[in-house]
Amino acid sequence: MRRRTRGRQTSTELNLTSLVDIALSLVIGFIVAIPLFFETGIFVSAPGVARAGAAEEGSDIKANVYIADDGTILLNESPVRFEQLRELLPKLLARSVERKVVVASGEQVKYDIVMRVLDIAKQSGAADLALLRKRRAR
């Protein structure tokens, strides 16, 4: 007597179709999201940029902006207002080779003022922005 085999055979292979769909969805999601992370418009360097500027030749014109605790803005040690900063900074950066702006502030300065200065510097054509902070006296 012969045994009858049923038409069904069990498959021992793993079905990867759903896993491939998930992997491709993740890849597409990352491809779409990566430009959002890298194109914010304002790139700020660590304080090492300012230290590197000290070793350069003195011929390059630098734009040093200091924001005091009372809100006074100093552009290369001269007091200016926001309107004057918008006018003077592009002229200063046009004569600069590296177009670097170094921004420092007091301890009590609010971030919105610092961000406004960074925004003005970027709109004025700054290639590099550096933020400095003073160490607290102990």
Q: Where are the domains of the chain?
A: 44-132
Q: Which is nearest to 103 in space by CA: 90, 121, 87, 85?
A: 121
Q: Give the predicted TM-score (pTM) of the model.
A: 0.54
Q: Taking the mean position of all CA atoms in its chain, how far away is CA 134?
A: 21
The CATH fold assigned to 44-132 is Nucleotidyltransferase; domain 5 (3.30.420)
Q: Which is nearest to 67 in space by CA: 127, 114, 32?
A: 114
What does each of the 138 residues of the chain score in pLDDT, given as a tens digit?
A: 566 666 666 667 777 778 888 999 999 998 988 877 776 666 666 655 555 555 444 457 778 888 888 888 888 888 888 888 888 888 888 888 888 888 888 888 888 888 888 888 888 888 888 888 765 554
Sign of the four-CA dihedral 43, 86, 101, 132:
negative
| Cβ-proximal residues to 101 (8 Å cutoff; 6+ apart), any chain | 63, 64, 65, 89, 93, 121, 126, 128, 129, 130
Q: What are phi and psi of 105, to 5 degrees?
A: -150, 165
